[in-house]
Amino acid sequence: MELLLLLLTAHFIGDFYLQPAGWVECRNSNHIKSKGLWMHFMVHTLLNSIVFLIATFSMFQALAAIVIISVSHLVTDYWKSYRKKNLTYFLVDQMIHLLIISIVWTYLSGFTLEQVLIFAKTLLTPKNMIIAISYLLVCKPASVIISLALKNYTDRLITDKKCSQEKTAAVLGNVGLVSAGSWIGYIERCLAISFVFMGQFAGIGFLVATKTIFRFGDLTKNKDMKLTEYMMLGTLLSYAIALFVGWNALYFYKIII
């Protein structure tokens, strides 16, 4: 475990603290010919070398591990240089790096495939599955339920002749705002059930208060009772679903042996 922690520390320091923004821009522009890409490769090679100077492994094992981790990092970053700069490719990039590190650590630690499978099975316990399903439920399914529950009110706000274009835009928004609203809902419900699992119900009150403060200005500007009630309904439904799922999940979690 010490080796894994050292390798992860080296990775995060090299990728996020010792990689200037200029190197990233240079890599995305010049790809394999980028000076920044090769400098980044050298930084990771140096950090991994320090890790294996601390850890007690044979020279051959250390060199092989350093080459595999550093070269795979170089190839992955080269591949990423041709991809769009967004969250998806960032996560894929990090997952590849961490997967390579995990494989190297598993091999050097002498774990067999059977031991790895046994460890994976220990994670798939009924209690862990209940927690995982809870988070899945409060994301997309909950979002669909809220959307359908408020559909009539949404249609009324949109088709109301007295509703100005500004107010209609506030309800509909553009694609970016709609996506942001969905993500806000996912995050607030995930945080809410997390507080339920931890028994920190005061945290839920903090979330509600925070959202109310940020929404207060928009609602005051619009001065529209229908829009205010519509937003309140959405918020209350969101938290009600999170609390319902959280409480029931916690109940089943406790009764499972």
Tens-digit pLDDT profile for residues 134-188: 999 999 899 889 888 888 777 776 666 455 555 545 544 444 445 677 888 899 8
Distance in angstroms (rounded) separating the CA atoms of residues 125 and 241: 25
Query: How confident is the model over 24-59, as pLDDT tens digits?
Result: 999 999 999 999 999 999 999 999 999 999 988 889
Residue 186: which residues within 8 A CB-CB, separation 6 or more?
138, 139, 140, 143
Amino acid identity at 195: F
pLDDT band, very low/low/confident/very high, at 234 (cuts 50, 70, 90): confident
pTM: 0.73
Beta carbons of 48 and 65 less than 8 angstroms apart = yes
